[in-house]
Amino acid sequence: MASSLKCLVDDDSRYQKSFQLFLERSSEHQCMRDFIHNMLPDILASIGNGKSHLNVIGVGSGAGEIDLEMLAKLRLKHPGVTVDNEVVEPSSTQLHNYKVLVSQKPGLDYIKFTWNKMTATEFQEHWRVKKMTKKADFIHMIQMLYYVKDPGATISFFQSLLDKNGKLLILLVSGESGWGRLWRTYRNQLCNTEISQCVTTGDIKSFLDSKGVSYQSYELPSEMDITECFTEGVEKGELLLDFLTEVLDFSKTASPELKAGVLELLRHPDCSVESNGKVIFNNNLGVIVIDQLT
């Protein structure tokens, strides 16, 4: 990455602002919820092997809304179980929001929360140093593999923690999304490989195929209104551009050539459709579900 370009995740408050705007402008959470309500229950039905206590690990759990919805589905499929839920989240803001959410939500007595303010890599090291032998029945990584140095190694580590019939669920942008096209074109200019990877479900499938690991995959249609990105000087447009490129103050710090190229590509039919004066970006997500190593 060019030294003049800083990674958005370096500035947590701007990252959180751009992320919140992204959620407002996209159907991201809605399409995740549709998946959780319609497809996840069948995936969760086979875990646990009849145990009365289940171990869950959420890696990059954010503010917890999606986690709690998944835990509710787990409870429906396995009524009466108790759950040990390890939360792994490096942002103190998000972890605080998650704790507040838990304190306000009734009926969570069956869950014991363990809060780990750390990255996935730090959690891996913590697990190794403590020589932990606990196995997990369900591990989920929602939109977080962008922020590890080696996504393949991270997947392999967490898969090794799965108990018999355990499931590892990975959710990322689809290789067929606008993100996939943007990253294939501008990976070298935009991706700071020390901090963030331009990784899609397409990349993860290639990795798993190369290792001979079987998986199930699902495509989740999603879209995002990026119209504001094309009006110079609009703060919300600049925040969305930061989020799309993962570059802090992209509009102000990118070279004119890079900025023009990115904006042109974002409008391209491979990335977006234009309708009723709006530019709607293809924000499709993909889910990959992996079983315990055999």
Contacts of 52 (CB under 8 A, 6+ apart): 80, 81, 82
Contacts of 274 (CB under 8 A, 6+ apart): 267, 280
Q: To which residue do tokens 């809605």 refer? A: 30
Residues across the chain? 294
Q: Is 192 annotated as a binding residue?
A: no
- Integer angstrom CA distances of residue 73 from 61, 166, 168, 259, 272: 16, 16, 16, 43, 33
- Residue 282 known to bind ligand: no
Tell me the residue type at 161.
Answer: L
Sheet holding 111-116, edge to edge: 111-116, 82-88, 53-59, 136-142, 162-173, 285-291, 215-220
Q: Which residues are annotated as a binding site for substrate?
A: 28, 283
